[in-house]
Chain A
Amino acid sequence: AQSVTQPDIHITVSEGASLELRCNYSYGATPYLFWYVQSPGQGLQLLLKYFSGDTLVQGIKGFEAEFKRSQSSFNLRKPSVHWSDAAEYFCAVGSKTSYDKVIFGPGTSLSVIP
């Protein structure tokens, strides 16, 4: 069955520290991978996506993610976190070969300590 797991429900980091949010997926076909961010009271905004090519993808707001097929992972990273990065982060997987739905993970809540 297709699924996305985000092992960390909540993470707290200090401002200026580095960040890594974990994402693992189970998908039968070649996956299409996304990271979305949701600020309080807002909708979801796409941070970055991996479709093909270079497995290290750059996104908005200084985020990057690396696709590792052997580990079925797509972890999100940022070298230096800002207080405004405090939000909920969702990993998602979709199909590259059909118009099927995108499956979202449960989300990781990020708190940033000044």
Chain B
Amino acid sequence: DAGVIQSPRHEVTEMGQEVTLRCKPISGHNSLFWYRQTMMRGLELLIYFNNNVPIDDSGMPEDRFSAKMPNASFSTLKIQPSEPRDSAVYFCASSFPVEGLDYEQYFGPGTRLTVT
């Protein structure tokens, strides 16, 4: 099992540019989560999907952020336009929760985004 795959691993871009982060969840998992991690704010949940449907996007900081999950094996997080304060490590995680049974979130290696 390849685990959760994220690309790119590092992204450096200039302020105002569009940034797209990609995630491939573990095959068979039906829940997908996007997190942002910074020194100041720690680990923040941005949005999560269940069966490709966005369930809770209350953590998305503003309209510049958008996320999609067109199918069970792919998700994107887009920032347009990007700003220096968006610099962070963005993690994708997936899980297969079944009511009454245990589950866990599996994390990808993260994308380190730097906006100059």
Contact = CB atoms under 8 A, between A and B. Distances in A.
A49 B45 CA distance: 20
A44 B107 contact: yes
Contacts of A106: 42-43
Contacts of A42: 109-110
B48 A101 contact: yes
Contact of A98 (B43, B99, B102, B105): B99
Nearest to B45: A101
A76 B59 CA distance: 28
Interface in A36-62: 36, 42-46, 49, 51
Contacts of B100: 96-97
Contacts, number: 48
Contacts of A94: 103
B35 to A, nearest CB: 8
B50 interface: yes
A46 B99 CA distance: 20
A46 B50 contact: no
Interface residues of B, number: 24
A44 B108 CA distance: 8
B75 interface: no
Interface string B4-46: 1000000000000000000000000001010000000011010
B97 interface: yes
Interface in A93-114: 94, 96-99, 101-102, 104, 106-107
A63 interface: no
A24 B106 CA distance: 23
A36 B50 CA distance: 22
A32 B102 contact: yes
Contact of B56 (A32, A44, A101): A101
Contacts of A34: 104
Contact of A49 (B56, B104, B108): B104
A36 B116 CA distance: 31
12 contacts: A34-B104, A43-B108, A43-B110, A44-B91, A44-B107, A90-B43, A94-B103, A97-B100, A99-B31, A99-B50, A104-B45, A107-B42
